[in-house]
Structure 1
Amino acid sequence: MPLTHTRTFRVRHYECDAYGHLNNATYLRYMQETAFDASAAAGFGLERYRALGRLWVIHETEIEYRRPLAYNDEVAVTTWVADFGRVRSRRLYEFRRAGTGDLAARAATDWAFLDARSGRPAPIPPELTAAFFPEGAPPPARRDPFPAPPPPPPGVFRVRRRVEWRDVDAAGHVNNANYLAYVGEAGFDVCAAAGWTEARMAAANLGILARRHRLEYRRQAVFGDELEIATWAYALRPASGMRHYAITRVADGEPVARVNTQYVWVDRTTLRPIRIPAEFVHALAANTVAESGGAT
């Protein structure tokens, strides 16, 4: 059995979004902190990795939100390593509301083990594997490739932003959680550009909540980089839909990250799913791919 580790967080007011819920990106920050604690508890804290000349970086993240968390809620984040490959490891997470045990979210990250100097993949040493699997590690599980979205429609929405100092973490590049903040803003921007501002959605008692994200980090972005986020919708259903985000570096056109997000339309008061308004579907038709591959 793998070692498990649990850390409890109390949701702070500034971590909540305008819906009053714990911001999507903050779940990823809780995951990272809990993973660091879990590694240290197994004898591999940051100082030991520095001595080895090695580091972990996140290659891919998946998260599914089950029940929203709000200010002052306590949430227990439990994490464990699912497997080790030659240079990669998969770590799983559960978010449970303290007191009730209700599942608030579940997630997984694929971490890549790198040489700190060269930035190239490095073999995971046996002693590290043994620290997390005292009784022996299972064989590596098969990874499903990142699901490719359908080709973009004519009305691809594009927005640019520059990496700010606050976006960069101690590793010197944009923190993985901030990419969710980037695409979240782009999602509101595309709606506003189609006439559905936040004020209009609030007046209609309409909310759009993320149900799940899948992120793949492809290259590092650093302070001062200008990024372009291209986005389009697809797989529209009566009360839900998918949106793809492709993030590239403007200077050289290199891909930095890509994200697939499932959104659910809800009544803001009850948080129950509702049918997407026909006016909304029409307004974003040029930005939406139909099942047949054409724009809706």
Structure 2
Amino acid sequence: MIRVRDNCRVLRGRADWVFMDRTEMRPKRLVPEFEDGFQPANAPLEDLEIRIPAAVSYPAHQFISERRAQSYEIDQLGHVNNANYLRWVEQASVDALASVGWDSARLQAENFYVFALGHELEYFHEAKEDDPIKIVSWVAEKSRVRGAWIHEMYQRDTGELLARDYAAGVFLRRDGANYRPTSMPDPLTHGLMTGERT
């Protein structure tokens, strides 16, 4: 997506998906007209560049959050719409931060913000309405001004892995009307690594 006033790219994304036969609920070959209209250029896909260069991996605490798949999250195919998994992992991050004493009020008081850089979300199995969902989240990588969570979403009762997300963000502090890169406060780093309130 390009912002019109200055021609600056503000959003980009890529999705892989499956064309489904609604009557049989099985993957179906695309019709040639569709394929022709959406044929990719004969070039490799552009790297979305959300991975953190020179990041350090940590043996971090795993945070658990649970929820149920809600009726409003279900699409016309009868399973949780893919967009809802992003909502789930965003809430899981907020819940994990709050559990170690860093809710939104504390983050603001400490002048510390995390802005999303991107997500790499892989889907493995579908979730249906009212399925119990367990989300396991941990800080997987951290550099001076960036960090990344891994979130794994499971069907709680069967243990089946539904989806995995790599979520990268940049650490910022507010400086007047602008935001500037900053490092994560040491107490927050300690809390995320240990699960202790700080």
Distance across 1 between alignment mates of 2:6 and 2:60? 47
Out of 53, 66, 74, the position equivalent to 1:160 is 66
Out of 165-174 and 183-192, give the one that drifted further. 165-174
Name the aligned partner's letter for residue 114 of structure 2.
I
Distance change >3 Å, CA 138–CA 107, structure 1 → 2: closer
Unaligned runs of 5+ in 1: 1-94, 288-296
What is residue 284 of structure 1 aligned with on the other side?
192
What is residue 4 of structure 1 aligned with on the other side?
none
Out of 229, 232, 236, the position equivalent to 2:142 is 236
Distance across 1 between alignment mates of 2:149 and 2:155? 20
Unaligned runs of 5+ in 2: none
Kindly indicate whether the alpha-carbon contact (under 8 Å) linking 1:152 and 1:232 is maintained by their aligned counterparts in 2: no
Distance change >3 Å, CA 138–CA 273, structure 1 → 2: closer
Name the aligned partner's letter for residue 275 of structure 1.
S
What is residue 272 of structure 1 aligned with on the other side?
180
- The two structures have a TM-score, normalised by structure 1, of 0.57
What is residue 8 of structure 2 aligned with on the other side?
102
- Does residue 203 of structure 1 match 2:99? no
- Does residue 126 of structure 1 match 2:32? yes
Percentage identity across paired residues of the two chains: 31
Mapping for residues 47-58 of structure 1, pairs under 5 Å: none
Higher relative contact order (CA 8 A, sep 6+): 2
Q: CA deviation at 1:141?
A: 5.5
Query: How many equivalent pairs are there?
Result: 186
- The two structures have a TM-score, normalised by structure 2, of 0.82
3-state DSSP of counterpart to 1:109: coil
3-state DSSP of counterpart to 2:158: coil
What is residue 181 of structure 1 aligned with on the other side?
87
Distance across 2 between alignment mates of 1:247 and 1:140? 33
Distance across 1 between alignment mates of 2:157 and 2:140? 28
Superposed CA RMSD: 2.7
Q: CA deviation at 1:140?
A: 9.0
Q: CA deviation at 1:115?
A: 2.5
- Does residue 117 of structure 1 match 2:23? yes
